[in-house]
Every structure is written in structure tokens, then in C-alpha cells.
Amino acid sequence: MQLSPDRRPRIPAGIWALGFVSMLMDIASEMIHALLPVYMVTVLGTSTLAVGIIEGIAEATASITKVFSGALSDWLGKRKLLAVLGYGLAAITKPIFPLAASLEWLVGARFIDRIGKGIRGAPRDALVADLAPLELRGASFGLRQSLDTIGAFAGPLIAVGLMWLTANHFQTVFWVAVVPAVLSVVVLIFGVNEPERPKALRHIRMPLHREELARLDSAYWWVVAIAACFLLARFSEAFLILRAQSVGVPLTMVPIVLVFMSLAYSVSAFPVGVLADRVNRLTLLAIGLVLLFLADIVLAFTSNLLSLGIGVALWGLHMGFTQGVLATLIADVAPAELRGTAFGMFNLITGIALLLASVMAGMLWDRLGPQATFLMGAVLALMTLLGLRAIRSRLPQLSR
């Protein structure tokens, strides 16, 4: 029986609100992060390898924190409290960036900010899964990802405008970023209502205990393995900024590369999420890998703004085809009472992969140049695509 148009399932208001929370925090974060690699290299004299290590360790710190926050949300049976804590911590650290007088202060602020991201990440994703109707799970994750990414391209765009208006005054841009960070916490507190925990749902006493982790079956671990291979092939976006600088993009306009990337990401994430509720999800991941391979090839051989823009746009499209789909797959295969733990473990392992990828990318860049960095990514993307094809027939439960 088909539902009448006014009774069709709709994405809940809480998921829209979570999307706007992510969007506001991403505006704040990307206003800073779009400029931070260039600021560290050109103003503070930091090496490219050091940027790769700092970025990789910062993201790995967030991923490690997600394990414990996700498990804690399963133990408490509450997600919103930890999300508010994580977003609040990130908002509080934003003023450190304009006040920092040395690299050590910037690194400290970056790590504290990533700890906040780690605290909020897994509980927020589990909350999306808790709120989303089953038949709209892919669309719900795609919507949150799309709104989040609107912030990711609005932030660098605002940063570019402010850098132009202030004659490259980094600290002014960093101060303005404080405003959307605070607003994101306000929207989360007053705009998101957490659903009641079903009474029949099993209470988890020790989410990280071996017996509980054993309830995450082989399908879950295959999804995690696929995602880790993705991250090995896709290092930090900081290298897109550095690539733009290497082909002669003026300092004021360098953050525009993140605008193009995030725009492509944003416009594709929600439609791909809707498709994920209708077509084979592994097919969408395969398309994402092809896009990543093409992006790496273009960026490896780019020598002008046109090819740089094409490579960056392909990179963003690959993100749109993969990130929401991977989150949807985790929600599909994880038991409801262990969703926080499942997202936490997922983020830990993929964070370690990102750390390794960023360090390798930085080493190759310093020793052999940017071309070698992106060719490494292309080779790893192709290997991951071949691996995905090999396991696809063995995992029919992931192909719905």
C-alpha cells in the first residue's frame, strides 16, 4: 500500500537542526583551517612535512576520542549531552587561534578543537541514525553531510573575502570565526530533541568489552576496512591548499580551492544519499573511488588554474559519493544499542589511516614534490577499487 503524499515519511526536524549545527561549526572551523596551513608555512616557517604530521595527528586525536565518546553514549543511552559538550569545547577554543603567538599555541588549539570534534562526532552520527526513518536513512545522512559541507565552502569563501578586506590580516579572520561557532551550540541546545530510548533496547554496561565488540559482525568490519583504504588514498585537504599555492594561486585566494571542493561535495552528498536508499550502495562507493583516482591524476599533473579547479571539483564529488554512504552502511550493520561504539571504532581506524596517509603525503611532497604525493593517492585509490570489487560478491547484505 502506498502512502498518500501527506503521509510519506519525511526527514525529521531534528536531523535538519543537526545539519545546521554542523554547518555553522564548519563555517567557523573552515574559516580558520583554510588559512592555517599557509599561515604555518609562510608566516611561522613550518615545513610541509610538519604540516602533514600536525594535520594527521590532530585528526587521529579526534578519531581516538570518538571511540570513548561513542561508547559512553551507548552506556548512558544519551547522545545529545555529549554532542553539546563536543561542540561547546570547539567553540571555546576558537579564540585561541587569533591570540596564539607561536606554533605551539596553534598546535595546542588545533588539538583541543579536534578533541571537541571527537567528543561530538560518534554521538551525533548515532543520533542521526536514531532519528532517521529506516527508509530515509541514506537521505538523512546525505542531508546532514550536505548541510555540513555548505559550511565547509562558506567558511573559506568568507575567509577569502575577509583576507581581501583586511589586507591579509589572519587574526581578524580568526576572530570572526568565533561567532558561528557559538551559534552552533545555541542551535544544538534549543533545536534538537533526543528521542526516547526504546524500553526493549538492551542496556550496555561495558561497550568496549570484548564480548560487546564481538557483536559487531564481519559485515561491520568489512565496511571499516573499506573506509580505511579510502582514507589511505585520500590524505588531508591541507595538501589541496598547498597544491594551489604551488601552481601560483595568490595568498589571498588560496582558500578558494576549499570552496570549489566543498561546493562539489555539498551539491552531490544529498542526492547521493537519496540514491543510497534506492540503489546498490557499494556501486556508489565504486563511483567515488573512480572520482578520487581521476582527481589525483589531474592534481598530479596540473599546471594551471583550470586543471586545478577540475581536480579539486572531482575530489569534492568523490567525497559526496562516499562519506554519507559509508555512515549509512555503519548504521545498517551495527546493532542499535551499539551505534555509538560502532561509529567510534569506525572513526578511530579511519583516523589512523588518515594519519598514515597525511604523513606519507608530506614525506613524498618534501622529497619528490607534489606530483609524487598525488600519484601515490591515485595508485592507492585504484587498489582500493579492485579490493572493493573482490569483496562485493561476498557481502550481499551491504548491497541493498
For 268-311, write each residue's pLDDT tens digit: 999 999 998 888 888 999 999 999 999 999 999 988 888 999 99
Q: How many CB atoms lie within 10 A of CB 193?
A: 12
- pLDDT value, residue 2: 46
C-alpha cell at position 396: 550481499
- pLDDT value, residue 398: 58
Q: How far apart are CA 150 and CA 19, in angstroms?
A: 10
CB-based contact 282:388 (threshold 8 Å): yes
Is the CATH number of domain 11-193+214-398 3.30.70.3040?
Answer: no
- pLDDT value, residue 152: 77
Positions of the chain with pLDDT lower than 50, given as ranges: 1-4
CB-count burial class (<10 Å; 0-12, 13-18, 19+) for 266: buried
For 96-112, write each residue's pLDDT tens digit: 888 877 777 878 888 88
Cα dist from 210 to 213, 215, 248, whole Å: 5, 9, 52
- pLDDT value, residue 84: 96
Cα dist from 21 to 88, 184, 188, 308, whole Å: 11, 5, 6, 31
388 Cβ neighbours under 8 A, 6+ residues apart? 226, 282, 285, 286, 289
Question: Would you kindly state where each structural domain of the chain is located, as residue ranges?
Answer: 11-193+214-398
Cα dist from 377 to 5, 146, 263, 382, whole Å: 46, 24, 22, 9
Work out the mean pLDDT of the chain and round it to a whole number: 84
Of 342, 322, 374, 343, the C-alpha closest to 149 is 322
- pLDDT value, residue 1: 38
Q: How far apart are CA 70 and CA 74, in angstroms?
A: 7
Work out whether the CA dihedral 130, 135, 136, 139 comes out positive or negative. Answer: positive
- pLDDT value, residue 127: 92
CB-based contact 305:369 (threshold 8 Å): no
pTM to 2 decimal places: 0.79
For 98-156, write each residue's pLDDT tens digit: 887 777 787 888 888 889 988 998 899 999 988 988 888 889 999 998 898 888 778 88
Q: Where are the alpha helices (DSSP H) in the chain?
A: 13-33, 36-38, 48-76, 80-93, 96-99, 103-131, 137-165, 170-176, 178-191, 210-213, 218-233, 238-246, 256-276, 281-301, 305-333, 339-368, 370-392
